[in-house]
Structure 1
């Protein structure tokens, strides 16, 4: 007699309050599969399907492993990553708000945006995180899990997600796609001061070097490829951060980021609502108005006609803290070739 598995997954789906089409868009699992699942036509859902659905619903790895155990699966491990990434590539940003959370869940959504391609517009307190070297990305705080096995998988999956996003970005750059970033002068100043002084105080020159490489990645691209990479400092603070992907295409998508000012490595720091993604025309219209206001706030000395402006600004900031050589060395290495090159 075939074993009857529990209804744990279908119960979680029902409790989410989302319709199957929303969950399909969020998870990359087909609507057909989800419909069969909801009608009890699938007794034993696939491991990757369970993982992708629960990741889309912002479940922790520890909790996903507990559900998998009810279906006689082993905890998630490195061999499960390819199937999870494949499902993630099938996700869609369509229609109303799609909430997402910090860390892994946010990174998964950024891969979906990056694979859309097209022109990217970013409003942020510093260059887009897509310019960050992989090693700096992986120094971020990670969501706490209840056991070491889940922690190791979370780290490995996040690393794979970040590498995929960086690969897609480099492909987009080589294909001539553009990225324009608007940065509030005061926010940029605070961000640079904070990371430089904290690294010096902690005597963490390794992290400071990665941060210099991040700034150099952005600055060198703006100088070498000004038609593709535009870094503009404005005299206007938009307060919140957001990204518009495929900004001039037929189906642009908005990624609105809640501005997380502080993080704490403690048990209470679990699901931080990071923001939402949407393709709703009305919301896109509102955020495009924000972009137009940022354009008007770009000062002449930081205009698109001066792609070296950002590099000069960052160089002065590093020099002010007596670590200018770290940024200059990074810039020298990247500028040593006219070709596209990132740390």
Structure 2
């Protein structure tokens, strides 16, 4: 039998991370990791290697290079189910867990959102879970993967994670959980400008149509489930986008990400730190206070007769781009369609 160099053991030891932390972050058992580090596993499973390295913020291309040393082919769609199974076992514990690439954040968000309970979100636009899949997939800037094989897998994994998160979101809603979203007025306006201005994208028409679908999903959900989904426009621009899962329960988790205002065509050879997650009581309390500041700065007029004044506000914002009537008509059509099926 071929003897493989214990590459993973070297990576783990060089990282300086404790096995317990890697186990929680990857979903791979502590027992398995111990055997691996001690050289008792000659050729780790392909999914195990991928999950361990994803938890350690490796890019897809870097993971494929390690897999090749164990005589595995590069990651492909057939590997996704087992990677997602490992991902569901992740435990979000400890003061902070750093997140570099968007794929690492997305992997973490899926088990995080399974926790349930009240979710509080501070961001510049409604949750991406209301987005059509095609619009969501456009958001991946792809600045990390430099070869087509890695890029294709990244996109396929991103799509699979999004679908899993959408299902988690549907289950979360059926369970009667609540969400509160606080959106800076100017950030929201900038978001619409980036996505609705005629010159914003080369495929402007198709992109604008997807944006209309996005807000149809938002508006219809607010009208049908107003007590479950609270959105407030606030006169405050926080330094972080963040959300707190199970905000009113005993298992609160915090996810926060810095803001990046500019993109450049060239890529840096290393991934950039994007955010953190934490279950530290001190950290959660700190961001809970930020949430309270957002509550106090909410536009009281738009909060009245909820959600209809807010819906009218959305219509007015879309009118600035010649899409107000289009959005209204699409919302009316969706409501009639939903009503006819009930």
TM-score range, shorter chain: over 0.9
Q: What RMSD in Å do the two structures reach over aligned CA positions?
A: 1.9
The residue that corresponds to 1:65 in the other structure is 64
Residue 122 (structure 1) shift: 0.2
**What is the alpha-carbon distance in structure 1 between the residues aligned to residue 333 and residue 199 of structure 2?**
22
The residue that corresponds to 1:267 in the other structure is 267
Does residue 1:153 correspond to 2:143, yes or no? no
**What is the alpha-carbon distance in structure 1 between the residues aligned to residue 37 and residue 280 of structure 2?**
28
CA contact (8 A) 2:196 2:204 kept: no
**What is the alpha-carbon distance in structure 1 between the residues aligned to residue 269 and residue 297 of structure 2?**
36
1:217–1:60 distance in 2 versus 1, CA, 3 Å = same
Greater CA deviation, 267-276 or 196-205? 196-205
Residue 9 (structure 1) shift: 0.8
CA contact (8 A) 1:143 1:269 kept: no
Superposition pairs for residues 130-209 of structure 1, below 5 Å? Answer: 130-140=129-139, 141-198=141-198, 202=202, 204-209=204-209
CA contact (8 A) 1:89 1:112 kept: yes
Q: Which runs of 5+ in 1 are unaligned?
A: none
Residue 175 (structure 1) shift: 1.8
Q: How many equivalent pairs are there?
A: 339
Question: The residue matched to 1:232 in structure 2 has which SS?
Answer: strand
TM-score (norm 2): 0.93
Greater CA deviation, 300-309 or 3-12? 300-309
The residue that corresponds to 1:96 in the other structure is 95
CA contact (8 A) 1:199 1:208 kept: no
Superposition pairs for residues 1-343 of structure 1, below 5 Å? Answer: 2-140=1-139, 141-198=141-198, 202=202, 204-268=204-268, 271-303=271-303, 305-337=305-337
What whole-Å deviation, never above 9, does each CA across 1:230-280 have from its counterpart, x for those lacking one? 111111222211000111111110000111222345332762322000100
Residue 214 (structure 1) shift: 1.5
1:131–1:180 distance in 2 versus 1, CA, 3 Å = same
**What is the alpha-carbon distance in structure 2 between the residues aligned to residue 57 and residue 208 of structure 1?**
37
**What is the alpha-carbon distance in structure 1 between the residues aligned to residue 226 and residue 277 of structure 2?**
28
TM-score (norm 1): 0.93
Greater CA deviation, 25-34 or 183-192? 183-192
What whole-Å deviation, never above 9, does each CA across 1:107-145 have from its counterpart, x for those lacking one? 101112111121110001111222212111111222442
